[in-house]
Amino acid sequence: MLKKSIYNILGALIIALSISFLGMPNGIADGGLVGISLLLYHAFSFSPAAVNFFGFLIILAISYRYLAKSVLLKSSITVILLSFFTFLFETYGQPLGDPLVGGIFYGFFMGIGFALILLSGSSIGGASTIALVFKKQFGWNVVLVTFILDVLVVISGVLIIGVLHTLYSIIGLFVGKVTTDYVLAGFDAKKAFTIISPHNEEISRRVTTELSSSATYINGSGVYKKHEQKMLYIVVRNHSVVHLRRIINEVDNNAFVVVNNVKDVSGGTFFAEEDLEEIRQKK
């Protein structure tokens, strides 16, 4: 719980700094509610902190009937933090002299902040919250609706910040998306090993006793010899890859091994440290 709270606070702070020091002084926009707050700042000098806060209150009033209260509570806390931090820093930003650089680094730091907020189990409200309401009412796809709403906000920026700065903003959005994916993968990076060996039982035994992971047998058959063979499927965290390779080489250095990057893992069994220690004691 403490870790998630730290992620949430740090993520909101990074996004607020990105808005104040990169988005506002360099004519950069964004998608969603943050994008609307930036566009209103560029057009009328409205405070992004105030627009973001009161805009979320409107969204909250609309979505209160349709979404889980726990989801809205987490988003509310994040928006309050984001608005507060933005209010503290929004008057201190200075133009970089190159809006393209501003757009790129705006997207980079926004991506980091957004990833931390996602890791905390929250969101910054805005388009994604509206998309959830549409899904609840009409069954519409959340990702598609969020994308359409973000695109509409960004494109409307042409009328306020011009074509060139809108293109810079789109570059920033792309950088932010890549950064968010990279940070999320880095925090929970895993690799999947598929192992074919006559000594798979020994490999799996050592995996469960030496690594914080489990293993799965998959029945297979060779095409050429029609020989029945159990394959071993193991998903491990990145820091355990070298250890697993060493286990495989020590048990059977001729084992056939295929390694794949794993972007997302849910369900299944990954032993907690106390469970791992209990297994070791039983062995």
Q: What is the pLDDT of residues 36-82, one digit of tens each?
A: 999 999 999 999 999 999 999 999 888 888 888 888 898 999 999 99
pLDDT band, residue 188 (cuts 50/70/90): low
Specify the pLDDT at position 212: 67
Per-residue pLDDT tens for 232-255? 999 888 778 889 999 999 999 999
Q: Which of 152, 168, 187 is the last residue of a domain?
A: 187
What is the arithmetic mean of pLDDT over 127-141?
A: 82
> Pick the residue with more confidence: 112 or 181?
112
Strand order in the sheet with 228-237: 216-221, 228-237, 190-196, 256-262
Name which of 192, 218, 215 is nearest 203 in CA terms: 215
Q: Vertex 170, ends 165 and 171: CA angle to 5°?
A: 95
DSSP letter at 216 equals E
Taking the C-alpha atoms of residue 266 and residue 132, their distance in angstroms, rounded to an integer, is 22
DSSP letter at 263 equals S
Q: Considering Cα of 186, then 188, then 194, then 195, what sign does the dihedral take?
A: positive
Task: Give residue 264's domain range.
Answer: 190-282
Per-residue pLDDT tens for 136-153? 888 887 767 878 888 899
Count of domains for the chain: 2
Do 153 and 265 lie in one domain? The reply is no
SS3 content of the chain, % helix, strand, coil (to 5): 65, 10, 25
Q: Which of 187, 221, 249 is the last residue of a domain?
A: 187
Do 114 and 79 lie in one domain? The reply is yes
Do 26 and 142 lie in one domain? The reply is yes
Do 77 and 151 lie in one domain? The reply is yes
Do 112 and 148 lie in one domain? The reply is yes
Contacts of 215 (CB under 8 A, 6+ apart): 203, 204, 207, 208, 232, 233, 234
Do 19 and 155 lie in one domain? The reply is yes
The CATH number that applies at residue 241 is 3.30.70.120
Do 146 and 175 lie in one domain? The reply is yes
Instruction: Tokens for 156, please give them.
Output: 């409307």
Q: Which of 171, 187, 203 is the last residue of a domain?
A: 187
Name which of 208, 193, 187 is nearest 275 in CA terms: 208
